[in-house]
Amino acid sequence: MSSILDKKKNKDKCQKFTPENIVDEMLDLAGYTHHLSGKKVLENSFGSGNVLVAIVKRYIEDSLNAGIPVSSIAAHLETDIYGVELDKELFRICIERLNEITNEYGIPPVKWLLFNENALTWKCDVTFDFIIGNPPYITYKDIDDDSRRFLKQTFSSCSNGKFDYCYAFIERSVNLLSETGKLVQLVPTNIYKNVFGRNLRSILLPHVDVIKEYPGEKLFVDTLTSSTVFLFDKSTKSPNITYADMTAEKTFVFLRSSLGEKWVFTEKEERKQRTTVRFGDCFNASIVVATLLNEAFLLSTDDVRGKGIEQAVIRRAASPKKMRHKVAEYIIFPYYYEGGIFHRYAKEEFEQQFPNAVAHLNLYKEKLDKRDVDDNIEWFEYGRTQALTRLNQRKLLMSTVLTNHAEVYELEADTIPYSGIFITVKKPEYTLADAERILRDERFVRYVKSIGISVSGNSKRITCKDVNNYMFVRE
Ligand SMILES: C[S@@+](CC[C@H](N)C(=O)[O-])C[C@H]1O[C@@H](n2cnc3c(N)ncnc32)[C@H](O)[C@@H]1O
């Protein structure tokens, strides 16, 4: 079979070597920084060895720091570091450079695991903790017929249309990673948008973790290619991807699920709105009523039966704890709604209309008078006016403390929540069922785990503000 490098033009175009500062950035991004002995690393188009030289230097320094004797380092290099390069001359240059390094450290001669082969047909039965490199980029029109046929048949990233030669390298590398392996590649940015890169993007989508772009910067002398470095981390389960514009020195995080057919990385407001929505823009998460003396206002079923308190001022009460244990509870609600509008009773009016409620509350008169209430509150009213105007509608109640899932209960319009957080619908296109689904979703639990305040063991406390600030993905 002919070689891709038979064409002089291909050789000139694809033999562009990675500058030292970018090599360092790539190794850092991969996490190729410490505890390197025993970790297998591959550079499968190593050229004159810019990436391998840096890998070998880091490997030796790290081994020395770990107290591995110089005499044993050669044996470790012979099992941990792999490389492939098709060009015979570059292969020779790289081996020379690596030998120079080992000589400098007084390391005995190394039988390098370097192969002068086509990396796409290279037989390999190990998997790698790290694969780091800058593969050859060769456009479809410059790929010979034999190679085109082979790539189409062998790699799904090359099965459609006018693929680039680098797609096959990326796919091969993904397939050679260990279960927790990390792949860092320096490639043209058009892999994110090219129509024929669709299959490649679906291979990358599940585990791509970081994307760096260098818009307007020429990383290679004499080329106009716009470059990107990405980290594909097989161990990542994160719903997020970190994006960095290295030229503008700007970084942001976006949802993996927000990437479409073409990968567009913008932090624009419209994109955020299209994909994620602030909970508080669609629902109201509010603090429940605060009587400041629950013992006076809360009633058991027996109280309701035995005390003759007027029905017009009794409502069902709800707290997450009582809901969990299915205990019926009632509350004196010294207010009323007319035409959906909240009203307070004047003192005389309340005392005249509800003598039995007044008799009951009078048992607690001293304590009621001592409460630190809001301004202009009568002795028989709740201590705070919060929540009262919005209560008279169907709502959800949730606990402020979450352990492994959100405890959510649906309440009738006339039920009065006195503990926890209550949620009502704000935007008419949403329903309480939507709110319940969002709050029960494991993404919300993960959010609470990251921002909540630890209370005990695995439990976290959250506030209404936390719930309102939650960004959910619009399904
Ligand atoms: C863009 S250069 C990068 C070299 C090196 N990775 C670096 O970053 O400096 C790509 C290299 O891939 C080599 N190459 C091209 N086709 C190859 C193949 N099928 N197998 C292995 N190496 C290949 C080229 O000879 C060239 O040295």
Contact 381, 344 (CB under 8 A): yes
Mutate to test the pocket of ligand 1, among 4, 8, 12, 14 (most ligand atoms within 8 A of CB): 14
pTM of the model: 0.61
Domain boundary among 219, 252, 275: 275
**Mean pLDDT for all residues in the chain:** 91
Residues 239 and 264 in one domain: yes
The pLDDT tens digits for 26-41 are: 999 999 988 999 999 9
More confident position, 14 or 287: 287
For ligand 1, say whether the CB of 334 is within 6 Å of any of its atoms: no
Q: Name which residue sits closest to atom 18 of ligand 1, judged by CA.
A: 118
Residues 245 and 292 in one domain: no
| Residue 115, token pair as written in the block | 């192969």
User: Which of 18-22, 216-220, 281-285 is least confident?
Assistant: 216-220
46 C-alpha to center of ligand 1: Å?
A: 6
- Those residues whose C-beta lies under 8 Å from the C-beta of residue 153, and which sit 6 or more positions away, are none
Residues 310 and 172 in one domain: no
For ligand 1, say whether the CB of 168 is within 6 Å of any of its atoms: no
Q: What is the pLDDT of residue 449?
A: 77
Q: Which among 190, 227, 193, 232 has a CA at the least distance from the CA of 209?
A: 232
The pLDDT tens digits for 128-181 are: 999 999 999 999 999 999 999 999 999 999 998 999 999 999 999 999 999 999
Q: Helix, strand, or coil here: 464?
A: helix
* CA dihedral sign, ordered 450, 454, 460, 465: negative
Residues 315 and 402 in one domain: yes
154 C-alpha to center of ligand 1: Å?
A: 19
Give how far Cα 468 sits from Cα of 143, 275, 401, Å.
Answer: 54, 17, 16
The answer, yes or no, to whether residue 258 has pLDDT greater than 90, is: no
118 C-alpha to center of ligand 1: Å?
A: 10
Contact 53, 97 (CB under 8 A): yes
The answer, yes or no, to whether residue 269 has pLDDT greater than 60, is: no
184 C-alpha to center of ligand 1: Å?
A: 15
Q: Name which residue sits closest to atom 15 of ligand 1, judged by CA.
A: 136
Helix axes 442-451, 432-440, angle to 10 degrees: 60
Residues 173 and 205 in one domain: yes
Domain boundary among 219, 248, 275: 275
> Identity (one letter) of the amino acid at 24?
D
Domain boundary among 227, 254, 275: 275
Q: Helix, strand, or coil here: 94?
A: helix
The DSSP output letter for 339 is T
The pLDDT tens digits for 386-432 are: 888 889 999 999 999 988 888 999 999 999 999 999 999 999 999 99
137 C-alpha to center of ligand 1: Å?
A: 9
**Cα distance from N-terminal residue to C-terminal residue, the chain:** 50
Q: Helix, strand, or coil here: 324?
A: helix
Residues 122 and 97 in one domain: yes
Atom of ligand 1 nearest to the CA of 10: 15
The pLDDT tens digits for 360-372 are: 999 999 999 999 9
The answer, yes or no, to whether residue 183 has pLDDT greater than 50, is: yes
For ligand 1, say whether the CB of 227 is within 6 Å of any of its atoms: no
Confidence label for 268 from pLDDT (cuts 50, 70 and 90): low
CB atoms within 10 A of CB 66: 11
The pLDDT tens digits for 449-467 are: 777 787 776 788 899 999 9
CA dihedral 166, 58, 112, 37 (to 10 degrees): -110
Q: Name which residue sits closest to atom 10 of ligand 1, judged by CA.
A: 136
| Residue 370, token pair as written in the block | 């001592």
Enclosing domain of residue 289: 283-473
